[in-house]
Structure 1
Amino acid sequence: MITTALATRRGSRAFNCDAASVHTCDNATAAALIDGIGNDENTATTARLLAETVARVTAHRGGLAGLLSGTQLLQVDHAGDAVGVAALAHPGSPTWVWWSGDCRAYGLNGHRLRRYTSDHTVGEQLRRNGTPLDIAADHDNWIQTPLSEAAVATVYDVEVPADELVVLTSDGVHDYVAHEELEEMTAALQGSPQDLAQALIDAALPDEDGYRDDATAVVLAPAAGSGVER
């Protein structure tokens, strides 16, 4: 009853160290999006393993258990590090989102796109404490709670209303595409989740230096007829 879609593409570096996975169990649909820290073959392989593990555990036990299963995997295998976001949806019920790091979750209520997560970065903390925006931006790449160090107290969660379409993104999308453009695309393509996921990663163009990050998007669309425009 929940329609899902995902899209990912490699950035300028040799490996795509983003990964995403969707898992359905009974009436639950779980999604996980992982952004590996670094760029090498091991990081890319680990990101895919993390995404699959987190999605499967989330479907059965929720996103806190899902993300912390990823923490255990990283600690046991000494397999690098990552950030991630997990979502769990049931038809007709709110979608729950859990995250550690700077992957994001958005919800669309038909026309308005709302960001539901806050980045676990030094830059975000500085902004919240009143630091000038240009100074805070210099610290956005400093992750406060990578997945390898996640704990019950550091994995945040939020509830997205049942009628909202949910979009998960890696920073290779939301750092390169303005919120207004994200909102416009999501509203225009909400009826076609796979086209939306692809459009989101395609919109993340190279920066002024010609560099672009790996980009990944996951879409979870509510069952037809459940939307209520507000």
Structure 2
Amino acid sequence: MITTALATRRGSRAFNCDAASIHTRDSATAAALIDGIGNDEATATTARLLAETVARVTAHRGGLAGLLSGTQLLQVDQAGDAVGVAALASPGSPTWVWWSGDCRGHGFDHQRQRLRRFTSDHTVGEQLRRNGAPWELAADHDNWVQTPLSEAAVATVYDVEVPVGELVVLTSDGVHDYVAHEELEEMAAALQDSPQDLAQALVDAARPDEDGYRDDATAVVLAPAAGKCQLCADAAQTA
């Protein structure tokens, strides 16, 4: 079984334009996390619809189809824009993660007690950073999304495989832009057996910036039962 959890919190603005949804089909569990671009009632409503649509399609057809279904929804309804990440997990198998934009997917290795980031942001800042630009210059461009969901295509939706047994954490930028990776890792290590507590802790840890502003924050956790890799436990007992 895959244990799931999600938590979300509105930031400083009037609406929470983050949304997340989890959908299970047979033994497969799909999750979608959407970060709407802008802040108004329409964006918040669209984000919730996108999350539900992407999660359901991902459970049946995978995350590429899931995210591109969100693209179609945005293009047909002309309902603003967003970025998103989707994951598909099955017991005893690796978890696949797909993304478009700057939502992130992480994997927590129980044996090494290490949280690894498996995704790369689709932003101008990240591109500059990878090409050796000064940190300050790159940071000024981190909010420039290169591939929002409305413009996503087969060639721009990336995917990555998280090893079997690892706890998977999806976050919006309201979490990972406000909480240092080392702190995220410490929380994952401390709460790896309590997915809901971990999701809530990640969201709660996103504190306001120096100007008092904080973004909407959302986290989704997908974990093997009891937060451990059952295959690893069985192997250890056999040995």
Q: TM-score, normalised by structure 2?
A: 0.94
2:74 aligns with: 74
Contact 1:121 1:144 in 2 (8 A): yes
CA drift at 1:146: 0.1
2:205 aligns with: 203
SS in structure 2 of the partner of residue 71 of structure 1: helix
SS in structure 1 of the partner of residue 43 of structure 2: helix
1:89 aligns with: 89
2:142 to 120, 130, 140: 140
1:12 aligns with: 12
1:152 aligns with: 154
Structure 1 residues 125-166: Cα deviation after superposition (integer angstroms, max 9, x where no partner)? 000000011110000000000000000000000000111000
SS in structure 2 of the partner of residue 98 of structure 1: strand
1:25-36 map, 5 Å: 25-36=25-36
1:115 aligns with: 117
Partners of 1:206 and 1:129 lie apart in 2 by 30
Pairwise CA RMSD:
1.0
Unaligned runs of 5+ in 1: none
Q: Which has the larger Rg?
A: 2
2:229 aligns with: 226
Give the counterpart letter for 1:15 in structure 2.
Answer: F
1:170 to 169, 172, 191: 172
Partners of 2:142 and 2:115 lie apart in 1 by 22
CA drift at 1:222: 1.4
CA drift at 1:190: 0.5
Partners of 2:206 and 2:9 lie apart in 1 by 10
1:181 aligns with: 183
Partners of 2:114 and 2:198 lie apart in 1 by 15
Contact 1:12 1:212 in 2 (8 A): yes
Give the counterpart letter for 1:108 in structure 2.
Answer: F
CA drift at 1:121: 0.1
Give the counterpart letter for 1:92 in structure 2.
Answer: G
2:237 aligns with: none
SS in structure 2 of the partner of residue 213 of structure 1: coil
2:190 corresponds to 1:192:
no
Partners of 1:209 and 1:223 lie apart in 2 by 41
1:22 aligns with: 22
Contact 1:162 1:222 in 2 (8 A): no
Partners of 2:14 and 2:225 lie apart in 1 by 38
Give the counterpart letter for 1:4 in structure 2.
Answer: T
Contact 1:35 1:170 in 2 (8 A): yes
Partners of 1:171 and 1:71 lie apart in 2 by 20
SS in structure 1 of the partner of residue 225 of structure 2: coil
Structure 1 residues 56-76: Cα deviation after superposition (integer angstroms, max 9, x where no partner)? 000000000000000000000
Percent identity, please. 87
SS in structure 1 of the partner of residue 19 of structure 2: strand
Give the counterpart letter for 1:73 in structure 2.
Answer: L
CA drift at 1:226: 2.0
